[in-house]
Chains A and B, each alone.
Chain A
Amino acid sequence: MAEPAIELRGVAFRYQGPGGFRLHVDRFDAQPGEVVACVGPSGSGKTTLLDLLAGRRVPGEGAVRVASADLGRLDLAGRRRVRLTRLGIITQSLSLVAHLTALENILLPAILMGRTPRPHARAHELAGALEIGHLLGRRPKRLSQGERQRVAVARGLLLEPLVVLADEPTGHLDAARSALVIDLLRMHADSHAACVFLATHDQDVVSAADRSFDVRELTSEPIGDSA
């Protein structure tokens, strides 16, 4: 059997602050080529779980292994390197750079890694698939929220990552455009044997996933006030 794309063992993480909670995961695996949807109400820990998988947060206990990298054994720089080189990140806030055009935002991971020729073709291919090919010269402030979201999705898939971590990737989209994004993520998982891990409220996304789970199933202690 292939090595899991995502592997959590005995992970414990305490979220400090107002409405804090404790996340505990005894065992969780996601396989290459699998689309996994994580659901749960706002504040239940979906984004925190994604941050743990992306190496932006470090658990107090346990091991997090993503795209063959044991994040617990890596320092901050090592975890950033894994994020840049092996993961595709699609954030809820979209995280677009205001002074770059849509095309430059999509190409940003390639620019940061010093790659240029092939990603251009890939960027145009993704933009075409997401129906934003005609918007590539615009900066984010001249795009609608839905268009920005599709730019963020294209950027997350640019370097054909082994693992895609997507936080509400269809949150700003209508049904037709949601379907485009879901199809593209599904296609990416199938064609690249990549694991797509989604945090979502969207039932269409949940239906399209190979499996789904409620993040509260992983939480050993009840969620705090804001959960």
Chain B
Amino acid sequence: MRALARLAWLYASRTPVQTAIVSVGVAVSLALLVTGRVLISRAEMSLTARAEAVPLVAGAPGSRFDLALALLYFRPTPIAPMTMGDVEDAATLGRGVVVPVHASLTAGGDPVVAVGYEFFEQRALAAAEGRFPIRLGEAVLGWDTARRSGLVVGDTFRTDRRELFDLSVASPIVLRVVGVLAHTGSVDDGAVFVDIQTAWLAEGILHAHAAAATLPDDQIQTRTERSVVVEPTSRTERDVSAAEQADVHMHADPRSLPVTGALVFPASDKDLTILQTRLNGDGRLQAVRPVALVRELFDVVFRLRPVLDGVTGLLAATSIAMIVLAAVLAARLRSEEFEALDHLGTPRSFVIGLVVAQTAINLLLGMLLAGLLVAGAAWSLDRWLGV
């Protein structure tokens, strides 16, 4: 047995190209067989886990899936905003905690999510460093965002420019890092969280007036005794300094301010039912249970299971045929070696054992490689889903 293993391994290691070709073939076949099921299973698990953490989401009427994706995964989706007044009305029902979420900005490509302060408590998020944002222009970074950007508490960064050529769109604002969230293994790790008013400031709804008279000449178009005309492009970013914060104001009804939607954490199952009914009541809003959405989504996926099973069966048959073919071709390639072994008096069972061992080594390497491929696919899926 030892001789068999030794000779089989010597052949595998001394003919690396053949071994690699067969092993990769086996790996790809096995990975194709397994990956689909693993990915569906993991996607179901991760989507369900996040959906279960938020009993109810509310927003303006439209696509239920877009609403859930925007509020749970901070994906940019084309949904109409609801108003802060709607959020306050839902909260005054006294059936649970209603957390406004406004996900309209990005910074370095990462979503900048404006949330009510209760968000951190309800999602059981903790700060690994620093604290949560409580003032305008403050931000707390998700774990991955902090690691990727290299930003630490005390650093500043700016939001991404939303429109490059339209000067009427508010310019980016400077955010100051006041904390880094502990690792959660969820989509929260890849986001930046700010106070809800900071988002309105970034959108230009809230604003302050800088003293134009104090601006440097290169930012001034014309200056007279009675007026100062500022260059339209003079301010490429806005920094709400402590001095300016007291001057921040808006020219609108606070209840009319936009939010992407709201996360609703009812006090009980009964409150959940009541809140969902009330919010859906007059058609101005919609309230959706994320768990039900995920189930609905996977019901559709699993309806395709017979097709998936058929494809899997075909793949399995093809894989087995390929492995047998590889073994037969390998045996032909090794005919001179087997002839030599026959001359020496090697038992026929030993020669057959060599072919089997060779096939087993290829299968083993193929399975290891397939494991890596499936793990890689699962890792990519996790990254994509943010878990």
Q: Do they bind each other?
A: yes
B-contacting residues of A (Cβ < 8 Å)? 54-56, 76-77, 79-85, 87, 89, 91, 93, 95-100, 104, 108-109, 111-114, 139
The A-contacting residues of B in range 1-47, CB under 8 angstroms, are 2-3, 6-7, 10-11, 14-15
B335 CB to closest chain A CB (Å) equals 11
Q: Is the CB of A112 within 8 A of B346?
A: yes
How distant is B143 from chain A, measured CB to nearest CB, in Å? Answer: 50
Given contacts A98-B337, A111-B3, A111-B6, contact A80 B11 (CB under 8 A): no
Would B343 and A112 count as touching, CB distance under 8 A?
no
Which residues of the partner chain B approach A108 to less than 8 Å between Cβ atoms?
344
Is B348 within 8 A of A76, CB to CB? yes
Q: Are B14 and A109 in contact (CB under 8 A)?
A: no
Could you say which residues of chain B place their CB within 8 Å of the CB of A76?
Answer: 348
CB distance from B215 to the nearest CB of A (A): 79
Q: Are B7 and A95 in contact (CB under 8 A)?
A: no
The CA-CA distance from A84 to B2 in the complex, in Å, is: 17
Contacts of A91 in B (CB 8 A): 340, 343
C-alpha spacing A76/B287, complex, angstroms:
81
B298 close to A (CB within 8 Å): no
> CB distance B344 to A77 under 8 Å?
no
Provide a sorted-by-A list of 10 A–B residue pairs whose CB atoms are within 8 angstroms: A54-B343, A77-B348, A80-B347, A84-B346, A89-B345, A95-B339, A104-B10, A108-B344, A111-B7, A112-B350
Query: Do A82 and B10 have beta carbons less than 8 Å apart?
Result: no
With contacts A99-B15, A112-B3 taken as known, whether A80 is within 8 angstroms of B340 at the C-beta atoms is no
Question: Does B342 sit within 8 A of A, measured CB to CB?
Answer: yes
Q: Are A95 and B343 in contact (CB under 8 A)?
A: yes
Q: Is the CB of A83 within 8 A of B345?
A: yes
Q: Within the complex, what minimum Cβ distance (angstroms) separates B3 from chain A? A: 5
- B225 interface contact, C-beta 8 A: no
Instruction: With CB as the reference atom, state the residue of chain A lying closest to B15.
Output: A99
Closest to B346 in A: A112
Closest 6 pairs (CB-CB, A-B) = A83-B345, A84-B345, A95-B340, A99-B14, A80-B345, A95-B343
Let me know if B10 and A89 touch, CB within 8 A. Answer: no
Contact A109 B337 (CB under 8 A): no
Q: Is the CB of A56 within 8 A of B348?
A: no
**B336 on the A face (CB < 8 A):** yes
Specify which chain A residues have a CB less than 8 angstroms from the CB of B348 in the assembled complex: 76-77, 80
**Residues of A contacting B345 with CB < 8 Å?**
54-55, 79-85, 87, 89
- B7, B15, B339, B342 — most chain A CB neighbours (10 Å): B7
B122 CB to nearest chain A CB (Å):
65
1/0 contact string of B320-339 vs chain A (CB within 8 Å): 00000000000000001101
Taking the closest CB of chain B, its distance from the CB of A161, in whole angstroms, is 11
Instruction: Given A99-B10, A99-B14, decide whether A112 and B336 contact each other with a Cβ distance below 8 A.
Output: no
Interface of B is mostly: helix
- B337 contacts A97, C-beta separation under 8 Å: yes
| Shortest Cβ gap from B297 to chain A (Å) | 53
Taken residue by residue from 248 to 276, chain B's Cβ proximity to chain A (1 for < 8 Å, 0 otherwise) reads as 00000000000000000000000000000
What chain A residues lie within 8 Å of B15 (beta carbons)? 99
Question: A residues within 8 A CB of B7?
Answer: 111
CB distance from B47 to the nearest CB of A (A): 50
Q: Which of B3, B340, B344 contacts A83 (CB 8 A)?
A: B344
Interface residues of B in 86-140 (CB under 8 A from A): none
A95 to B347, CA, bound (A): 16
Least Cβ–Cβ distance between A104 and chain B, in angstroms: 7
Report the minimal beta-carbon distance from B352 to chain A, rounded to whole angstroms.
13
**A15 CB, nearest partner CB in chain B, Å:** 18
**Considering the chains assembled together, what is the distance between the CA atoms of A99 and B14 in angstroms?**
6
Which residues on B sit within 8 Å (CB–CB) of A83? 343-345
Contact of A56 among B2, B341, B343, B346 (CB under 8 A): B343
The reply to whether A96 and B2 contact each other, CB–CB distance below 8 Å, is: no
Question: Contacts A98-B336, A100-B10 hold; do A114 and B3 have CB atoms under 8 A apart?
Answer: yes
Q: Roughly how many angstroms separate A80 CA and B15 CA in the complex, as a whole number?
A: 28
Question: Contact at B347–A77, with CB atoms within 8 Å?
Answer: yes
* Shortest distance between the CB of B80 and any CB in chain A (Å): 69
Q: For residue B9, give the distance in angstroms from its CB to the closest CB of chain A.
A: 11
Closest to B339 in A: A95
Tell me the smallest distance from the CB of B17 to a CB of chain A, in Å: 12
Identify 9 new A-B residue pairs, CB closer than 8 A, beyond the known A95-B339, A99-B14. Answer: A79-B345, A83-B345, A93-B339, A96-B340, A97-B341, A99-B15, A109-B344, A111-B6, A112-B341
Q: How far is the CA of A95 from the CA of B336 in the complex (A)?
A: 7
User: Closest chain B residue to A111 by CB distance?
Assistant: B3
Whole-angstrom distance between the Cβ of A36 and the nearest chain B Cβ: 20
Is the Cβ of B6 less than 8 Å from the Cβ of A112?
no
Residues of A within 8 A of B339 (CB): 93, 95
Q: Is the CB of B343 within 8 A of A81?
A: no
A54 to B339, CA, bound (A): 14
A19 to B119, CA, bound (A): 95
